[in-house]
Structure formats: structure tokens, C-alpha cells
Structure 1
Amino acid sequence: MAFPGLQHVALTVADIERSTTWYSALFGADPVLVEDEEGGRFHHTVFALDGGMLFGLHTHQGRESKDAFDEHRTGLDHVGFSVGSHAELEQWAQKLTELGIAHDGIKKAHYGSAISFRDPDNIALEFFTGPE
């Protein structure tokens, strides 16, 4: 049996409205779902990305720590978004600049190229393409 691919990613954020606005601008789309979970334990905002992937933002009704993200703690290191080519990566660098999102520019390695950037909670994100 083959191991299944990722269907969704959900990030806990400090300020759901701030993060929803930020990710809406990044994705160029509004969320497809905004609701409280049935039991009232969390609220989620969900975006539908190309390829059937869902990307969720969660707030735990005031119980989240409000700490800034730190990839040095055990848990998530970063979220990588796949792009098809180096040319598309260049377009994303331009879009991040237009949105006022700080980034490190395109970094090349033998295994591919990436642009690293951070969301309002300092969560590490990147656009990545394999070697050409």
C-alpha cells in the first residue's frame, strides 16, 4: 500500500483576522470555509489551493500561546509550496515584493531553488522548485 500524500496543513495563528487577510493576499483568494469547530474548541479558516490541497489557519479560542513561531523548537520547521520552474519562482519573488513581504531572494542549491519568507506569526514558508 502506497503512503498517501498530504491533503491539508493547519497552522495555529495568534490573530486569525490578521493572518486571514495576509494569506488571502498571498494566495490571491478568499477562504472557502470560515467556522467554529462543532465542540467550540477551535475556529478555522480554510483556503483551497491548486491540486486539491487545503491550507488552514486555526485559533484555539484564546488558548493559543501567542508566542512567535520558532523553527528551533520541536515541531514544524517550515511549509514549502511547490512551483513548476525557476521562471515561476522569479514571478513569486516579484509578487512577494509587490505585497511588501520580506524575503531572501532566490537561493540555489544542487537539489533545487527556493525563496524563504515568513508570515505575520514568523512561521517559515518557502516557494520551492527542483533543479532544472
Structure 2
Amino acid sequence: MADFPAIAHVAVTVSDLERSTRWYRALFGADPVLDEDERAGGFHHTVFALDGGQLFGLHTHPGGVKGGAFDEHRIGLDHVAFACRDRAELESWVRRLDDLDIQHGGIVDAHYGSGVSFRDPDNIALEFFAPPQSA
């Protein structure tokens, strides 16, 4: 059996595609690589290419279920974490969040690593995460 494959992409459903596209464009520092309106299929999606060949998609589903802001306590997604090589890279992302006026919880250290949590315009929980520092 081959090694389990890496995650190729993550797609989140957003309430306002234009607002979320602007927000993620600023966070990622890049323009989307795909903006596809599939009205016949009932959805619209915008996709960003991240380092390592990963894709991050924003989806809307017109006429879909309306349920307010994201809540990780419901069944489904809890959060999405973006990998940082080390604490220095994590600290650089904290500065980037500050520069973008994105509220966050500061760096939290644990035995399994360090992370900083923040939320997108739909309250979707996001995190930058670095492995524990070696002693």
C-alpha cells in the first residue's frame, strides 16, 4: 500500500464570495487562480494556489441552507491549520495578521506545537501552526 496522500485542497463555503475573496487575497498575498461560476450546478467557486501544490477554495451555494456564521461546535469542520516550518515563521504570520488588522488569539504554546488562531469573515476558524521547538 502506498503512503497516504497529502491533502490536495480544502474548500470552505462562504456567505459572501466577493467579501471572502478580498479577505483571503489579502491574507494569502495572491490572486485566485480560478474563478468559476457554475450556475447550472448551483454554485460558484474561487480557488487560491498555495505553496506545496495545495489549493484553497471558496464556495457559494445559492439557494443552499442558510445557517448563520460558522460554528466549530457543529458536526463538520472544526478548523483549518496552515503549517509553519518553525516558531520564527509563525511569528512572521502573527505580524502579517496584525498588519492586516485581523484579530487573533496570540501564539499559544503546547507540548505538541505552537499556534495562533484567527477567523475569516464568516467566523471560520483558521490557524497557523508550528511544530514544537527542539530543546
TM-score (norm 2): 0.94
Tell me, in whole angstroms, the C-alpha distance in 2 between the residues paired with 1:106 and 1:13.
Answer: 26
Amino acid at match of 1:73: R
Matches within 5 A, 1:10-29: 10-29=11-30
Tell me, in whole angstroms, the C-alpha distance in 2 between the residues paired with 1:66 and 1:50.
Answer: 32
Q: Kindly report the root-mean-square deviation, in angstroms, between the aligned alpha carbons of the 2 structures.
A: 1.2
What displacement does 1:37 show? 2.6
Structure 2 equivalent of residue 110 of structure 1: 111
Q: Which string of whole-angstrom CA distances, capped at 9 and with x for unpartnered residues, describes residues 59-113 of structure 1?
A: 0124241510000000000000001110111111011011000001100000000
Structure 2 equivalent of residue 81 of structure 1: 82
Tell me, in whole angstroms, the C-alpha distance in 2 between the residues paired with 1:73 and 1:66.
Answer: 11
What displacement does 1:41 show? 1.6
Once superposed, which parts of structure 1, at least 4 consecutive aligned residues long, lie more than 4 Å away?
none
Amino acid at match of 1:74: I
Structure 2 equivalent of residue 6 of structure 1: 7
Matches within 5 A, 1:91-106: 91-106=92-107
Tell me, in whole angstroms, the C-alpha distance in 2 between the residues paired with 1:88 and 1:27.
Answer: 14
Structure 1 equivalent of residue 57 of structure 2: 56
Amino acid at match of 1:14: S
Identity %: 67
Q: Which string of whole-angstrom CA distances, capped at 9 and with x for unpartnered residues, describes residues 28-59 of structure 1?
A: 00000001137332100000000000000000
SS at match of 1:51: helix
Tell me, in whole angstroms, the C-alpha distance in 1 between the residues paired with 2:65 and 2:29.
Answer: 27
5+ residue gaps, structure 1 = none
User: 1:119–1:43: structure 2 CA closer, same or farther, 3 Å change rule?
Assistant: same
Tell me, in whole angstroms, the C-alpha distance in 2 between the residues paired with 1:27 and 1:72.
Answer: 26
SS at match of 2:101: coil
5+ residue gaps, structure 2 = none
**Contact between 1:14 and 1:66, CA under 8 Å: does it hold in 2?**
no
